[in-house]
Amino acid sequence: MLSKISTSALRKSLCSASRWNLRPRSRGLLTLAIETSCDDTSVAIVEKEANAVQIHFLDKVTCDTTAYQGIHPVVALESHQENIASLVNKALAHLPVACETKHARHQTINIANSSELRRKPDLVCATRGPGFRSNLFVGLDTGKALSVGWQVPFVGVHHMQAHLLTPRLVSCLNRGQNSNPDVALSQPVTPEFPFLSILISGGHSMLVKSSSITEHEIMASTADRALGEALDKAARDIIPDSLLQTSKSTMYGKLLEQFAFPNGSADYADYKAPKSRGEELLPRENPWGWNFTEPWSHSRQLQFSFCFIGATLARLFAAREASGQVISHDERIALAREAMRSSFEHLASRTIMALESLVKKGTDKEVKTLVVSGGVAANQYLMTVLRSFLDARGFGHVSLVAPPPYLCTDNAAMIGWAGIEMFEAGWHTNLTSRALKKWTLDPREEDGGVLGPFGWERVDK
């Protein structure tokens, strides 16, 4: 008989056992969130009351894969398995203490070695995708188990959606721990929709127009390598081995920025963006006679390509090796600066083209904010290039925002925030949901975007 039960019927039967009182609250949501999509095992406790947010706990363990000079999925998986339980256990001690008057409607739980009752989370969130599936399952299954144990809703979060929503978390976070809830409730969460996002990391490079929590239009993506990956590879080529081996992580893009600009922003304080597309394409002279040529220089195609960085470096190093010439330290610094400048200007130029296309459609007034998120968003030279391009090309009215560095890289706080936003929008994830290696943002794509995969259910009204 069991073999005759359809998949859909089985899913419905599994879901029916997990129906709780899921009515979203306009004020007061507490979540425990988990992130395990790549090599960071992260857990957070996030609370939203009105439009003010507190991060009660945020910690992560980054897998040490420096021996591989990059991410090793199996080693990262083992790190998740070793660390997830202890991080969750550590987080529980930071759940808010229950106050009889303030939290009368909230359920409580006992925590080991604590004499005080703690508030039970209202929901549990975990990254569902995209990412390494085996790694995702560690966090996803842990999150589902906690939701069953606590009998609270579960939200499987889209990793890239969480990145682009992070500035909205920051806007509420900045309202402070002691902000008046009545005042916070009257303040909108910013950036308000619609806004444009540049999502850039080691695995993704895309330009997205977001009209709502779930409506995202991908305007441009990379045709080959992601920007973060390209910069990591450039760092391994340019930075001397003696310095590279001192790195305690595989975030070589950050090391490249530090190598190129040892004095920080003072080294690029005089940067000014090209005032026109023609000026942008002029070759840059240097004492060594090389230059980085932007891909599709005579095309206005809305697409990125970052393979030119590695290809240029490969040709240069091969030529120097063949001729027996040694690359000096000064030339390596120049190469690091040009690799970043050319790739950042390519990114900025295509972003300007996207904004110009919205002007032609008559929708330019809608987009007031350009969000930069993902690991590469922590690069301050990038932010200087983007701001200068916006000002030089007629988009000085567009605000440029990025999360603080600790929220740019993968972290569970952004997962908790995205889960809260989805829950408030009326969505939770049932217990049949599975990890997704690939998961687009755009509902026009074959998989249906954020709400496309099975497992989403409307929160009971």
Q: What would the mean pLDDT of 438-454 be, rounded to a whole number?
A: 95
Q: What is the predicted pLDDT for the residue at 245?
A: 81
Do the Cβ atoms of 200 and 340 come closer than 8 Å? no
* Whether residue 71 has pLDDT greater than 70: yes
Nearest to 400 by CA among 380, 421, 418, 430: 380
450 and 353 together in one domain: no
For residue 259, tell me if it sits in a domain. Answer: yes
In tens, the pLDDT along 287-324 reads 999 999 888 878 888 999 999 999 999 999 999 999 99
| pLDDT exceeds cutoff 50 at 8 | no
Average pLDDT of the chain, as a whole number:
88
Give the confidence band of 364 by pLDDT, cuts at 50, 70, 90: low
- The alpha carbon of residue 370 and the mean position of all alpha carbons in its chain are separated, in whole angstroms, by 15
Q: Are residues 141 and 42 in the same domain?
A: yes
- Give residue 382's pLDDT: 97
User: Could you tell me whether strands 427-429 and 154-158 are parallel, antiparallel, or unpaired per DSSP bridges?
Assistant: unpaired
218: containing domain = 196-367+375-406
Query: 76, 132 in Cβ contact below 8 A?
Result: yes
> Both tokens of residue 213?
């929590």
| pLDDT tens column, 228-240 | 999 999 999 999 9
Question: Is the pLDDT higher at 134 or at 98?
Answer: 134
Once rounded to an integer, what is the mean pLDDT over residues 401-409?
Answer: 94
Distance, CA of 79 to CA of 83 (rounded, Å): 6
Going by C-beta distance under 8 Å and a sequence separation of 6 or more, which residues neighbour residue 315?
none
- Do 279 and 384 share a structural domain? yes
CA distance 131 to 80: 13
CA distance 414 to 425: 16
d(CA 373, CA 96): 29
Domain match, 139 and 231 both: no
Residues 314 and 413 reside in one and the same domain: no
Work out the average pLDDT over 96-100: 80
Of 46-60, 93-107, 275-289, 429-443, give the lowest mean pLDDT range.
Answer: 93-107
Mean pLDDT across the stretch 111-132?
91
What pLDDT shows up at residue 185?
61
- What is the value of pTM for the model shown? 0.89
400 within domain boundaries: yes
pLDDT for residue 50:
86
Rg (CA), the chain: 24
In a domain, 3, yes or no: no
260 plus 402 within the same structural domain:
yes
Does residue 8 sit within a domain?
no
For the segment 426-444, what is each residue's pLDDT rounded down to a tens digit? Answer: 999 999 999 999 999 999 9
The predicted structure's pLDDT at residue 112: 76
Q: What are phi and psi of 257, to 5 degrees?
A: -60, -45
Give yes or no: residues 340 and 416 share one domain.
Answer: no
Is residue 19 predicted with pLDDT exceeding 60? no
Q: pLDDT-based confidence at 248, cuts 50/70/90?
A: confident
Q: Kindly provide the residue ranges of all beta strands, DSSP E only, lying in 329-376, ordered along the sequence.
A: 369-373
Task: Give pLDDT, residue 114.
Answer: 75
Range list of H helices, 105-211: 133-150, 159-173, 181-186
Provide the domain count of the chain: 2
- Is 224 contained in some domain? yes
Least confident of 62-66, 219-223, 280-284, 376-380: 62-66
What pLDDT does residue 207 have?
97
Q: Are residues 236 and 385 in the same domain?
A: yes
Distance CA 205, CA 303 (A): 10
Q: What is the pLDDT of residue 32?
A: 98
- Collapsing DSSP states into helix, strand and coil, what is residue 208? strand
Distance CA 458, CA 410 (A): 27
Please indicate, yes or no, whether residues 119 and 155 belong to a single structural domain of this protein. Answer: yes
Lowest mean pLDDT among 13-17, 22-26, 287-291, 394-398: 13-17
Name the residue among 369, 367, 402, 397 with its Cα closest to residue 384: 402
- Whether residue 179 sits in one domain with residue 35: yes
Cα distance between residue 300 and residue 309, in whole Å: 20
213 lies in the same domain as 350: yes
Domain of 451: which CATH number?
3.30.420.40
**Both tokens assigned to 144:** 């589902």
Between 295 and 85, the more confident residue is 85
Q: Is the pLDDT of residue 102 over 70?
A: no
Please report whether residue 6 resides in a domain: no
Give percent of the chain above pLDDT 90. 71
The two beta strands, 123-129 and 29-35, are parallel
In a domain, 133, yes or no: yes
- Please report, in angstroms and rounded to a whole number, the separation of the first and last CA atoms in the chain: 35
Supply the pLDDT for residue 242: 87
**Has residue 43 got a pLDDT over 70?**
yes
Would residue 111 count as lying in a domain?
yes
The DSSP line for 390-452 is HHHTT-TTSEEE---HHHHSS-HHHHHHHHHHHHHTTEEE-TT----S---S-TTSTT-GGG-
C-alpha span between 282 and 268 (Å, rounded): 19
Residue-level pLDDT at 10: 36
Question: How many beta carbons lie within 10 A of that of residue 245, not counting itself?
Answer: 10
Kindly state whether residues 292 and 167 are assigned to the same domain.
Answer: no
Whether residue 24 has pLDDT greater than 60: no
**pLDDT tens-place string over residues 137-190:** 999 999 999 999 999 999 999 999 999 999 999 999 987 555 565 666 668 899
> Which residues, in sequence order, are CB contacts of 8 under 8 Å at separation 6+?
none
